[in-house]
Structure 1
Amino acid sequence: MADIFGVVADSTRREILRILLERYNQSNTAGGELSVSDIVDKLGLSQPTISKHLKVLREAGLVGVREAGQHRYYHLDYAPLEEIEDWLIPFLSVDFDATVEELAEESEGLKVEQRAFAAAIGKAFADTSYQMAHAVKDAKPRKWRKTD
């Protein structure tokens, strides 16, 4: 089975999932099902392209299919999306603003002289690096002879 994150990385597959979710939210009577031709009409892509993406989504377990003769009706399957949700929750619960404030408070603890010294060292390093890069670039190879 393909990595769920790789499957939903494709924008066309995300659009298919969005369309199936909209269908599910609009009407529970049809179980949120759409035919391949309905999805083709909504996205304006070719039927082979949509079928290829639906196959990937089906193999990942993100969509289910019901066959009725030659017609295929697809619906959203939420279970694999829980893996994405579980991965995202720790990131959504982090208070990034508080973390940035903590870092700012730590840096304020440095004395003015320490900051100036660190800035001077950084500037000296950058200047030296720049000069060395140009000296090496401008240097021409020389033929060295051994003198007897």
Structure 2
Amino acid sequence: MTDIFDVIADGTRRDILRLLLSQSSQSDGGTSVTEIVGELGISQPTVSKHLKVLRDAELVTVREDGQRRFYSLAVEPLEQIDDWLVPFLVDAYGDQAPDIEYPVGPLPGSAAHAAEVVGRAAASAKYAVASAFKRRGV
């Protein structure tokens, strides 16, 4: 499997993921390549190339409807990033982590479930780090 960090290092792919996230609050049916091209203003071949990389990394899922393809964000692989990143955030901010506002509406069921899983993982990681420090007397 491709290193997820290499995949998300590309700005265009991050833009596609952001778009799919924002579109997921409006519909569970996915976003067509045509919509992605229109929203991001990049060519269809470029979008298709980046979607293939995202698909290979299992960051997006695809639903076929005749000749059309509809893409949706797959949140499970993003847990790898969360698991890697949380210790740095806990170390940097402790209990003073800044609030982050996202410009999206209510999450659909699958995204809400994923957010809950990520939140639990973050809380668990924070607890493990705090417990380790406590045992060491820090």
Query: Does the TM-score normalized on the shorter chain lie above 0.5?
Result: yes
Identity %: 59
Summarize the Cα distance change of 1:73–1:35 in structure 2 as closer, same or farther, 3 Å threshold: same
Q: How big is the shift at 1:96?
A: 6.6
Larger Rg: 1
Structure 1 residue ranges, 4+ long, deviating more than 2 angstroms after superposition: none
Task: For residues 2-27 of structure 1, give each alpha carbon's deviation from its aligned partner in whole angstroms, at most 9, with x where no partner exists.
Answer: 100000000000000000000112x2
Q: Give the SS at the match of 1:31.
A: coil
User: 5+ unaligned residues in a row in structure 1: which ranges?
Assistant: 98-148
Q: Give the SS at the match of 2:75.
A: coil
* Alignment-derived partner of residue 35 in structure 1: 32
Q: Tell me which amino acid in the other structure corresponds to 2:43.
A: S
Report the TM-score when normalising by structure 2.
Answer: 0.65
What is the CA–CA distance in structure 1 between the aligned matches of 2:10 and 2:2, rounded to whole Å? Answer: 13
* Alignment-derived partner of residue 85 in structure 2: 88
* Alignment-derived partner of residue 49 in structure 1: 46
Report the TM-score when normalising by structure 1.
Answer: 0.61
**CA RMSD, 1 decimal:** 1.4
Question: Number of paired residues?
Answer: 94
What is the CA–CA distance in structure 1 between the aligned matches of 2:77 and 2:66, rounded to whole Å? Answer: 28
Summarize the Cα distance change of 1:40–1:94 in structure 2 as closer, same or farther, 3 Å threshold: same
8 A Cα contact 1:8 1:14, kept in partner: yes
What is the CA–CA distance in structure 1 between the aligned matches of 2:92 and 2:54, rounded to whole Å? Answer: 33
What is the CA–CA distance in structure 2 between the aligned matches of 1:95 and 1:13, rounded to whole Å? Answer: 27
Q: How big is the shift at 1:95?
A: 3.9
1:2 partnered with 2:6: no
